[in-house]
């Protein structure tokens, strides 16, 4: 796994939390928004988003709700919980610290 893939994998949770802090979204929408907002950098294997979403829901970071779309289709919308918002703040601080320290170490190379 390349360094970029590892960073992507490790950052999926905070990216999902950041997106859902704006508004509730369904899985396909989340994957499209991730790709669009990062100009494709955070474009991941779309299906692998679902295990992450479900784990985050089990951890109490997200809630989900089926909503009808049209006559026959339904979509499962995910929304961030108060615990998820706390986790977003915590992870944001951790990432900022990580980037700051990394830049201090390698920034002058």
Partner 1 sequence: MSSEQHFSTIDEVMHQMQQQMNLSRETEHELLSEIRGHLEDAVETAVLNGEDPHQALQDVAARFGVNEVGHALQKVHAPYESADAVLACIIPVVGALILRWLVFSPDGSAIGWEAILSRPAFWVVAVVALVVPILQFPKWRYAAVSWALFWIISVIFFVLPHSVNW
Interface residue with partner 1, options 39, 40, 58, 107 (CB under 8 A): 58
Distances (CA, A) of 52 to 10, 27, 30, 56, 78: 11, 11, 12, 6, 12
Phi-psi region of 62 (alpha: psi -120 to 50; beta: other; left: phi over 0): beta
Q: Does 24 bind partner 1 (CB under 8 A)?
A: no
Interface residue with partner 1 among 11, 14, 24, 27 (CB under 8 A) is: 27
Using alpha carbons only, how large is the chain's radius of gyration in Å?
16
> Under the criterion CB under 8 A, does residue 50 sit at the interface with partner 1?
yes
Q: Is 2 in the site for partner 1 (CB under 8 A)?
A: no
Q: Point out which span in 6-14, 17-25, 52-60, 80-88 binds partner 1 (CB under 8 A).
A: 52-60
């Amino acid at each position: 796994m390349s360094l970029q893939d590892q960073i992507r994998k490790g950052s999926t949770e905070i990216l999902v939390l950041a997106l859902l802090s704006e508004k509730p979204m369904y899985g396909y929408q989340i994957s499209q928004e991730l790709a669009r907002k990062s100009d494709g950098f955070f474009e991941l294997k779309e299906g692998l988003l679902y295990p992450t979403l479900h784990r985050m829901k089990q951890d109490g970071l997200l809630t989900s709700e089926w909503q009808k779309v049209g006559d026959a289709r339904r979509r499962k919308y995910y929304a961030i919980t108060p615990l998820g918002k706390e986790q977003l703040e915590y992870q944001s601080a951790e990432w900022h610290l990580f980037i700051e320290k990394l830049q201090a170490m390698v920034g002058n190379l």
